[in-house]
Structure 1
Amino acid sequence: MKEMALAMVGIGETRVISNFRGKEEMKRHLQDLGFVKGELVKVVGENASGMILLVKGVKIALNRGLASQIIVE
């Protein structure tokens, strides 16, 4: 499976986090939220401001700008 930005993943799909783009503090912030390499992330929905994701059993809303910093496969 090829790598893509999390922002491009469709609702209902589950992917594995493989990498991050962006500044160190951005990566750290995402990792603090549970977005770590090797972790499964599922897109459960979307709203006006972005995407609703399920990671480590927790639903998190993330704007598409941040979601595009997370690389999944």
Structure 2
Amino acid sequence: MPLTFTKVGEVKCIERINGKDETKRFLNNLGFVEGSEVSIITEIAGNLIVMVKDTRVAISKEMANRIVV
């Protein structure tokens, strides 16, 4: 299921990243790699602040939909 369907505070494992190679590379550079744990800290105006690899990252809902957990 996409990351956007998880609840705030739930820790999930990233199974895959969907999208074009450019999108996958962008998310990989932010720390979103297969096998990593990710959790949603908060949602603000549809955008998400997530914790990945001990770092807080803000991503759009569109990007979060490409992350399958």
| Residue identity opposite 1:12 in structure 2 | G
Give percent identity, aligned residues only: 38
TM-score between the two structures when normalised by the length of structure 2? 0.96
Cα distance in 2, alignment partners of residues 69 and 43 from structure 1: 15
- Bigger mean CA offset, 23-32 vs 44-53: 44-53
Question: 2:59 matched to which residue of 1?
Answer: 62
Q: How many residue pairs are counted as aligned between the two chains?
A: 69
TM-score between the two structures when normalised by the length of structure 1? 0.91
**What does residue range 25-64 of structure 1 map to in structure 2 within 5 Å?**
25-64=22-61
- Runs (4+) of structure 1 exceeding 6 A deviation are none
Cα distance in 2, alignment partners of residues 34 and 54 from structure 1: 10
Unaligned runs of 5+ in 1: none
Task: Report the secondary structure of 1:38's partner residue.
Answer: coil
Q: Tell me how far 1:7 sits from its aligned partner.
A: 1.2
Give 1 or 2: higher strand fraction.
1
Task: Report the secondary structure of 1:54's partner residue.
Answer: strand
Q: Tell me how far 1:56 sits from its aligned partner.
A: 0.6
RMSD across aligned C-alpha pairs, in angstroms? 0.8
